[in-house]
Amino acid sequence: MSVSVPPGITGLLGPNGAGKSTFMKVITGQLKPSKGTITVLGEPIWNNPSLYFRIGFCPEQDSFYERMTGLEWVTALVRLNGLSDGDATEMAHRALKAVELTDAANKKIGAYSKGMRQRVKMAQALAHDPHLLILDEPLSGMDPIARRKTIRMVKDWARAGKSIIVSSHILHEIESMTSNILLINQGRILAEGNVHQIRDLIDEHPHTVYIRAEQTRALARAFLAQDDVLSLRFEDEAVVVQTGRPDAFYARLTDLAASGELGAIHEVTSPDDNLQAVFKYLVKS
Amino acid sequence: MKPPPLVQSSVRIFDLSLGQMLWSRRSVFLGVLLGGPVLLALALRIVSTLYEAGFRINGVRAAGASIFGMMIWLLYLRFIVPILGVFYGTALIADEVDDKTITYLFTRPIPRRAVLFGKFLAYLACTVLLVLPSVMLVFFLVVPTGGGSIGAAFPSLVGDFGMLIVGLAAYGAVFAFVGTGVKRPLIVGLVFSFGWEPTVLLLPGYLKRLTVAYYLQALVKHEMPQDSAVSVLMQVFREVPSVAASLVCLAAIVAGTLWLSGRAVENREYVLEQ
């Protein structure tokens, strides 16, 4: 496959197991292509460390040196770019400021919330001011407010001239950042172009949202009052909702989280059954 | 832009890794293990203080320095150093893969082998910091038994430290290679240290040259009690090359296995479990 990524944001969309993370690992030089060659920014990526001056990668996995503070961790990683201690610290400060983590810079990463952990991962990716930012499921597990902030940040970086590839299995997330998408399934790029072309298809399938919150029953009551909510069920400390209009649902959810009137919303994730159904349809047709 | 030089990148990985290694659960566990010789030394000291006859091997009163020398060889070089080498060496890269933090290191503008070399340096520093207090305590507890002088024995303590560092480097490099090259490296490492090495050291012939212990024993300089089973055993062990030849061989083992490990890391794909 040959994929061109213009300046701005390109969304990589596909269900779980579609090959998004493998694609990300190949274009970041962690995996070697079994056939053909991979060139990124015009150069082969495998065993080419100098290319990482121009690439920033935010991986999907929630893994850190938990005992380090955010500032120590980002500084230590930026130092690997060959910068002096002073310059590395300054760049780390700048990156943490860009992801709005200045206040928590000296806290141990082990004490960070899920949203803060995602943001500190992004800080290490952008600290050395790369041309190309590759973000693998950056919104995964974030609460609605952190999501909104992160989406805004990603858009700001794109406006500042960076090329950004963002992967997700949730159309709504990608759509809120860009209209330019790559559709991937079973390791192949199925389509490349404007998100709105598949939007109608997506809307035909109910969208499932898992919400872990403080007051799940109160949230459920609020959801049931909306006509786009098709069904809901409870799971431990979460409520799982099926909605026919994800845009409207997410907008209301963000407002609810911001107002705090129904308690804290800790985590929002979406199983990808709905997207899987759309992909099955696309592949058949 | 060119990536930073290998040495600079390795030193920065060392900086990043040392703290993680020192405060890991592995270090706590092995730190406890290193308390074993200290307890043994304490017991010897108490026995020596309570009974004037002191500690005897086959009826011969053993000098404190000789007992210390035996402990250095039998407990540290033949047991603790290989254990440290196996547990840390095989995990240099595996820990980062298991913790899924390797991605952050492999997507930076440094050669991949710098990650291995830096972590090897961190291993060396970490294990030296673990072994040092244990050996010091054993030295101060054991050497004075049997009327030994700490001042007179002190130069040999420095030599013993040097020997332990060489041993840690050699075993660590060998097991780093095992860790990058084989599945189940821990089992392979333990079989090598406690199966292969003790067996072939007792056999005549050239097989013993395929061990690390063969070259290390040439560096052991302590006088041992004579006319005893231990001295006979030591005579068997004493079929050793010269100190210079041993040091050259150990340096070659360290350089060779580290180079091979670095190559393996450069060319291997690390697939993280989802």
Q: Where in chain A are the domains?
A: 8-199, 204-284
CA–CA distance, A70 with A78 (Å, rounded to integer): 12
CB atoms within 10 A of CB A130: 21
Those residues of chain B that have pLDDT short of 50 are 225
* H-only helix segments in B143-272: 150-181, 185-191, 197-201, 213-216, 229-237, 243-267
Residues of A in contact with B267 (CB under 8 A): 47
- Distance from the Cα of B130 to chain A's closest Cα (Å) equals 20
Does this chain's domain A8-199 share its CATH topology with A204-284?
Answer: no
- Joined together, the tokens standing for residue B125 give 């520093």
Report pLDDT for B274: 62
SS3 letters for chain A? CCCCCCCEEEEEECCCCCCHHHHHHHHCCCCCCCCCCCEECCEECCCCHHHHHCEEEECCCCCCCCCCEHHHHHHHHHHCCCCCHHHHHHHHHHHHHHCCCHHHCCCEHHHCCHHHHHHHHHHHHHCCCCCEEEEECCCCCCCHHHHHHHHHHHHHHHHCCCEEEEEECCHHHHHHHCCEEEEEECCEEEEEEECHHHHHHHHCCCEEEEEEECCHHHHHHHHHCCCCEEEEEEECCEEEEEECCHHHHHHHHHHHHHHCCCCCEEEEECCCHHHHHHHHHHHHC
- Distance from the Cα of A7 to chain B's closest Cα (Å) equals 21
Write out the DSSP string of B111-161.
-HHHHHHHHHHHHHHHHHHHHHHHHHHHHHHHTTGGG--HHHHHHHHHHHH
Identify the three-state secondary structure at position B64.
Answer: helix
Report pLDDT for A90: 96
Match 């830096």 to its residue by tokens: B118
Residues of A in contact with B270 (CB under 8 A): 30
From chain A residues 39-68, the ones with a CB under 8 A of any chain B CB are: 47, 49-53, 55, 57, 59, 61, 63-65, 67-68
Report pLDDT for A115: 87
Question: Chain A: residue nearest B271 by CA?
Answer: A31
A127 Cβ contact partners less than 8 Å away, ≥ 6 residues apart: A56, A74, A77, A78, A91, A92, A94, A95
Cβ atoms B245, B219 nearer than 8 A = no
Q: Is B263 touching A (CB cutoff 8 A)?
A: no
Q: Is A34 touching B (CB cutoff 8 A)?
A: no
CA–CA distance, A90 with B106 (Å, rounded to integer): 23
Q: Is B264 touching A (CB cutoff 8 A)?
A: no
Residues of A in contact with B8 (CB under 8 A): 82
Return the bridge partners of A8, or none: A163
A8-199 is a CATH 3.40.50.300 domain: yes
CA–CA distance, B83 with B254 (Å, rounded to integer): 17
A149 Cβ contact partners less than 8 Å away, ≥ 6 residues apart: A100, A115
Question: Chain B: residue nearest A61 by CA?
Answer: B100
pTM for the whole structure: 0.83
Q: Is B272 touching A (CB cutoff 8 A)?
A: yes
Report pLDDT for B236: 54
Q: Is B101 touching A (CB cutoff 8 A)?
A: yes
Per-residue pLDDT tens listing for chain A (285 residues): 667 777 889 999 887 778 888 889 999 999 988 888 888 988 999 989 999 999 999 999 999 999 999 999 999 999 999 999 999 999 999 999 999 999 999 999 999 988 899 999 999 999 999 999 999 999 887 888 888 888 999 999 999 888 999 998 877 788 888 888 888 887 777 777 776 666 666 666 778 888 988 888 988 888 888 888 888 889 888 999 988 888 788 888 888 888 888 888 888 887 655 566 666 666 655
* Nearest partner of B80 among B188, B193, B215, judged by Cα: B193
Number of CB pairs < 8 Å for A and B? 80
B234 Cβ contact partners less than 8 Å away, ≥ 6 residues apart: B224
- Distance from the Cα of A59 to chain B's closest Cα (Å) equals 7
- Bridge-based pairing of strands A132-136 and A163-168 is parallel
Cβ atoms B123, B90 nearer than 8 A = no
Cβ atoms A20, A165 nearer than 8 A = no
- Distance from the Cα of B110 to chain A's closest Cα (Å) equals 5
Tell me the torsion sign for CA atoms B100, B105, B107, B113: negative
A110 Cβ contact partners less than 8 Å away, ≥ 6 residues apart: A64, A66, A67
User: Which among B12, B104, B267, B270 is the top mutation candidate for probing chain A, defined by the most A β-carbons within 10 Å of its own β-carbon?
Assistant: B104
Say if the Cβ atoms of A47 and B266 lie within 8 Å.
yes
- Distance from the Cα of A5 to chain B's closest Cα (Å) equals 19
From chain A residues 97-156, the ones with a CB under 8 A of any chain B CB are: 124
Cα distances (Å, whole numbers) of residue B29 to B71, B80, B132: 21, 12, 16
Nearest to A82 among B8, B23, B105 (CB): B8
Question: Chain A: residue nearest B16 by CA?
Answer: A76
Which contiguous run of DSSP H or E holds residue B60? strand B60-61
Architecture of the domain delimited by A204-284: 2-Layer Sandwich (3.30)
Question: Chain A: residue nearest B267 by CA?
Answer: A47
Q: Which residues of A256-273 are buried (b: 16+ CB within 10 A; e: fewer)?
A: bbeeeebeebbbbbbbbe
Say if the Cβ atoms of A52 and B2 lie within 8 Å.
no
Reported ipTM: the value is 0.83
Residues of B in contact with A53 (CB under 8 A): 1, 109
- Joined together, the tokens standing for residue A168 give 């997700």
Of the CA atoms within 13 Å of residue A142, those in its CB half-sphere come to: 22
